[in-house]
């Protein structure tokens, strides 16, 4: 129950930040996922890598939960993102989406029927430009009616960078941007 409350609060903050902050929902600050991160810079000079490629969204629909939030619906679901291109590997995690429709309607319609804002918290394992990489990954954005996503990947704690994402909900899409492997 505590996790549901925390995720609900996070979704509400995401929606509120999109409304009350000039940065908007697509200008995130880098999240902290815990773990040991030394404030000291690395002794090896990590070079930025320009990335581009594709990812597939593999959704485990058996894990979906719906929680009514006023006239809206908080949808939570587990899944994976499978990357190809400059970034190769898999990110496994959980997504919370505030659907702008009642849960009764969300339950009987396919993904992308209603507008929503979402956040996925995942752990990535794979490579960046052939270099082994392990990182936390935050994927967030807005789903438009019809399923188009404009979003961001925010890598931290092993790989650092913010990538632009253009995708289709529950399908996948393309990414592009700079990262640094630490």
Boundaries of domain holding 128? 2-21+48-181
Each residue's pLDDT, cut to its tens digit, for the chain (182 residues) gives 444 333 344 444 343 344 444 444 444 444 444 444 444 444 456 899 999 999 999 999 999 999 999 999 999 999 999 999 999 999 999 999 999 999 999 999 999 999 999 999 999 999 999 999 999 999 999 999 999 999 999 999 999 999 999 999 999 999 999 999 99
**In 3D, which of 8, 13, 121 has the Cα closest to residue 72?**
8
Cβ atoms within 10 Å, residue 149? 23
Number of domain units in the chain? 1
Q: CATH number for the domain including 104?
A: 2.40.350.10
Cβ atoms of 116 and 142 closer than 8 Å: yes
Residue 42 lies in a domain: no
Residue 36 lies in a domain: no
């Amino acid at each position: 129950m505590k996790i549901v409350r925390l995720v609900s609060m996070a979704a509400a903050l995401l929606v509120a930040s999109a409304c009350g902050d000039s940065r908007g929902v697509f200008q995130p600050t880098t999240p902290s996922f815990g773990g040991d991160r030394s404030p000291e810079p690395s002794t090896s000079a990590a070079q930025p890598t320009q990335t581009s490629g594709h990812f597939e969204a593999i959704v485990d629909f058996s894990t979906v939960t719906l929680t009514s939030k006023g006239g809206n619906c908080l949808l939570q679901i587990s899944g994976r993102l499978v990357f190809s291109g400059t970034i190769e590997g898999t990110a496994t995690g959980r997504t919370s989406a505030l659907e702008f429709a009642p849960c009764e309607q969300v339950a009987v319609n396919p993904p992308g029927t209603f507008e929503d804002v979402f956040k996925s918290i995942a752990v990535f394992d794979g490579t960046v430009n052939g270099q082994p990489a392990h990182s936390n990954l935050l994927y967030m954005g807005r789903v438009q009616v019809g399923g188009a996503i404009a979003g961001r990947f925010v890598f931290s704690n092993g790989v650092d960078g913010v990538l632009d994402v253009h995708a289709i909900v529950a399908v996948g899409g393309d990414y592009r941007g700079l990262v640094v492997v630490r």
